[in-house]
Amino acid sequence: MFGDEGDPVVLVGRSRELAGVRRQLAGGRPLVVTGEPGMGKSAFLGVLARQLAEERGLPVHRVRVADFGLRSDVTLLRLLGACGEAGSRALAEVVGHVPAMVPNAVVHVCRQLFLAHPAVVVVDGVPTGTAADRLLADLVSAFSRTLSFLLVGSADARPPQGAQVALCHLRPLDRADASALILETAGSRGPTAVAELPEELVEAASGNPLLARVVGAQLAAAMESGRLPTVFRLPAPTWMSDEARGLLDSLAALGAEELPADLVHTLGDRPATAVRELCRYELLHPTGEGTLRLHPLIRSLVVRDWSDAELDGRAADAAQALVDAAEENPAAFGDHPAAFVGLVDRAIVANEFVDPLADQLAQRGRLAELLVLRQVLWARTGEVTLEVPLAVATRESGQPELAAALLGAHAPEGDALLEQAVTACQRGLLAEADHHLSTLPSGRGADAWTLLTRATVHCDRGDLRAAGPLLRRAVEAHQVAGDRRGEAWTVFQYGRLCLLRGEVEDAEKLLYSAREAFHAVGEARGVAWAGTELGRLSLQLGLTGPEDLVEEARFLHEAEGDRRGAAWADLWWVLAKVDRFGSTWKNLFPAVTQHFRDVSDRLGQAWALHHHALTLARETGTDEGRNEADLLFDEATQLFEAADCPHGRAWTLLERALHDPSHRFLNHRWAGDVRDSFRVIGDEAGEAWVDLAESAIGTAPPYELARRCPPALLDAVEWTEDGDLLIPRAARYTQPEPRPGTYHPDAARSHVRLTLLDDIPAPDTASRIALKVVPGVHHPWSTGPLPPLTARAVPLTHADIEPLHAISTEAAEFRFTPHRPGRHRIRFTLADQATGTVLQQVETEIDVIASSSPVPRMTAPEPARRA
């Protein structure tokens, strides 16, 4: 299979060239491998890169030039984007330059990066021409005086005069090697027995390794079906299916050498089957990086008989199909939104697509691709654009301070101000974030993302009173706008709010719901954050194994380049270790604190210092240990004050007073200060903890705590022989509301009951579903008639449901028609008819099985969110 560096088939007849190149590279010179299209340059470079990397212990970075033009600034920017975290930091040095200065800046930045971080770099697909020669000159300059290996694949690019460059030209295979490659390829495709190849098969390959593999693949298929072992047509056999032929034509029309597999599957009919068939005939090649490659030689054979008008029309149709898929479902961008940048560069997508593409790149922190997009647009129009998305991408790639500077230099308009607020929030500067939100234009106050940002600031400060109403309005605004990504982030924040309130069951449901919503819209960063909060929830409940959950989330954060998310996952991981295995894990706290410092998150840094100090204070009885803890407590207090986080400040002052004899609650001065910090955010539970701290040794928790906190938490409260009160670590995670007295919380709620009225739903057959509102015994509706309600049903799978709206004071009935067997999901939204306020959303699942199968089941409804 093409691209498998361990497969000897791809290097038949190249052993002599490989040995010669290894001798030339002994001096560390750049290597340029040339040859006609299809000569196996990519496979040759892949094997060589793997050998060098294994021998020297170096990483391998690879970029392909063909899909993004020949400008060196574009190629080097993409190369930096392939270099992980070090590349992101290097890119930050380029962001502040105007487009005209980027070409020189990026050469310098690359040289510095590969001097500090040696690697094996493969730059493939460099065609011929003057532009290619200039690109090669800049590449050689960028790698001069470094310890990195530069391997370039080109049709015929000429290295700069006087440069110390190793050269290797791959020539056509001789008849014996071409015959061997055809037979080996045919044998790898299936049982093939050919004593001697017909001469016309060898001549069809023309000594070209790629065509030899195509011939071998067709030979295997012909022999399996009993056909004569002759080539019927290049590049595709005459018996290829219409679906595969249509997909091949679409890919050839696009002109992109590589495309993500997810995007390829949005083209044509039965794309999965078509892709397998094209790969079987060696016309489409998996690269091993989640992409599929259509070799330029294969493309040229496909389009050779097309007129220019036909090529342009097919290219426009194929590009529009990709754009439609991306607009309908942002998950189509997947992990490869950069593929669309190449389409923009070749101007085969509409200009209107640039803004949503820039937003997608910014949200995912794809700084390199966004810089490439800016360079492309600047070369076309001469205008400097995308400044706000660039700042956002800089922030999301772990450079929030630089992002704040870029946004501050921008005109103070709505988008820039909102992103300044988000950036300040992520830096732990909550007062600054609040200031930016207050200066937004009046029309932006009800914007869904503005509401969500305000709620996030309230939660981070520990002031939960206004967060709930803000989130309810944000959910409704996102739903009205059809913004599924924004709705997912709001549901996530609502789950986080419930966790802070101590409403664990609701928090768990909302966080799982948010994680599924993130999956649905391709928001990998959101998936990681939901996993981090679910791990935190397990830690809060004292369950076993929370470190496994947050460790998995940390890997997801790191894979997405989200350094801030990884730092928070690190904090919960260390706390899980400390809580389960003792203070021997305290030595990890400084590294976590540094991670927060690296991403300028003052709030995270403050909480890491708080927990480090708390761990030290509880394990040591020496003056030296107590002094070290006090210094950490003081530093955390200063950071909480700078962040405008009364919640963190109050708990830090409280714990410092509890574990420092010089600040015991003797004159109530410290107690009053701590109590005021809790009171300013309405944290009555925090005030109750201060009351307990002022009590005599061994005093039981006061009634105010008993009616708020679960018994397991209060059972963990301890008094030491020295009179120290040990408040469980989990107490500072929540501000619990009072619990009901003698009845179950569900008794004060209304529930939705769904009943399937007919037997056995079958595909394309309607069944009735009854919806009924059942008030709890302590709910106000239990003693009188229900108010007029609106129930709206939306199928989330391939099914129809009618009516879409039903109005009733007690019940509603819907007709559900599935169009395929399997599990179907339906979401029901109940709202107050008079005001339109959403009261509840529930989802249910119905298993629809073929009529000959057992009776299907309908699951009980589950709240999607409680408004």
How confident is the model over 243-259, as pLDDT tens digits?
999 999 999 998 888 88
- The pLDDT of residue 748: 58
First to last CA, the chain: 54
- The pLDDT of residue 463: 93
Provide the angle, in degrees to the nearest 10, between the axes of the packed helices 484-501 and 467-481.
160
- The pLDDT of residue 183: 86
Total residues belonging to the chain: 867
Mean pLDDT for 196-211 is: 85
ω into residue 854 within 30 of 0, thus cis? no
Band (666; pLDDT cuts 50, 70, 90): very low
- The pLDDT of residue 778: 64
- The pLDDT of residue 7: 47
Question: In this model, does residue 268 exceed pLDDT 70?
Answer: yes
**Can you tell me the distance from the alpha carbon of 688 to that of 737, in angstroms, rounded to the nearest whole number?**
12
**Can you tell me the distance from the alpha carbon of 118 to that of 721, in angstroms, rounded to the nearest whole number?**
58
- The pLDDT of residue 704: 86
Question: In this model, does residue 856 exceed pLDDT 60?
Answer: no
Classify residue 759 by burial, with Cβ atoms within 10 Å: 0-12, 13-18, 19+.
exposed
Query: 392: closest CA among 380, 372, 377, 407?
Result: 407
Q: Which two tokens stand for residue 835?
A: 């005001």
- The pLDDT of residue 747: 58
3-state secondary structure 567-597: HHHHHHHHHHHHHHHCHHHHHHHHHHHHHHH
- The pLDDT of residue 8: 44
Mean pLDDT for 764-781 is: 82
φ/ψ of residue 382, rounded to 5: 80, 5
Question: In this model, does residue 6 exceed pLDDT 80?
Answer: no
Four-residue CA torsion sign, 517, 523, 527, 532: negative
3-state secondary structure 628-651: HHHHHHHHHHHHHHHHCCHHHHHH
Identify which has the larger pLDDT, 600 or 833. 600
Question: In this model, does residue 5 exceed pLDDT 50?
Answer: no
CA dihedral 445, 447, 452, 456 (to 10 degrees): -30
- The pLDDT of residue 195: 59
Identify which has the larger pLDDT, 342 or 708. 708
- The pLDDT of residue 269: 74
Q: What percent of the chain has pLDDT over 90?
A: 37
Classify residue 371 by burial, with Cβ atoms within 10 Å: 0-12, 13-18, 19+.
buried
Give the model confidence (pLDDT) of 580-601 as tens digits: 887 778 889 999 999 999 999 9
Query: 48: closest CA among 168, 158, 145, 226?
Result: 168
Question: In this model, does residue 827 exceed pLDDT 60?
Answer: yes
The total of other beta-carbon atoms located within 10 Å of residue 813's CB is 15
Question: In this model, does residue 643 exceed pLDDT 90?
Answer: yes
- The pLDDT of residue 784: 75
- The pLDDT of residue 671: 80
Query: 466: closest CA among 447, 449, 485, 453?
Result: 453
Question: In this model, does residue 773 exceed pLDDT 80?
Answer: yes
Mean pLDDT for 312-325 is: 85
* Cα Dmax for the chain: 103
Query: 263: closest CA among 282, 291, 284?
Result: 291
**CB–CB of 179/202 below 8 Å?**
yes
Query: 156: closest CA among 300, 37, 15, 75?
Result: 37
Four-residue CA torsion sign, 418, 422, 427, 433: positive
- The pLDDT of residue 867: 32
3-state secondary structure 319-379: HHHHHHHHHHCHHHHCCCCHHHHHHHHCCCCCHHHHHHHHHHHHHCCCHHHHHHHHHHHHH
Mean pLDDT for 212-231 is: 80
Mean pLDDT for 753-759 is: 84
Question: In this model, does residue 866 exceed pLDDT 60?
Answer: no
Mean pLDDT for 514-539 is: 92
Question: In this model, does residue 745 exceed pLDDT 60?
Answer: no
- The pLDDT of residue 334: 59
**Can you tell me the distance from the alpha carbon of 30 to that of 164, in angstroms, rounded to the nearest whole number?**
7
Q: What is the pTM of this model?
A: 0.77
* Cα separation values, 839 from 466, 485, 711, 748, Å: 18, 22, 31, 14
Give the model confidence (pLDDT) of 66-100 as tens digits: 666 667 888 899 899 888 888 888 898 899 899 99
Average per-residue pLDDT for the chain: 85
Identify which has the larger pLDDT, 743 or 156. 156
- The pLDDT of residue 797: 87
Query: 64: closest CA among 142, 172, 154, 137?
Result: 154
Q: What percent of the chain has pLDDT over 70?
A: 89
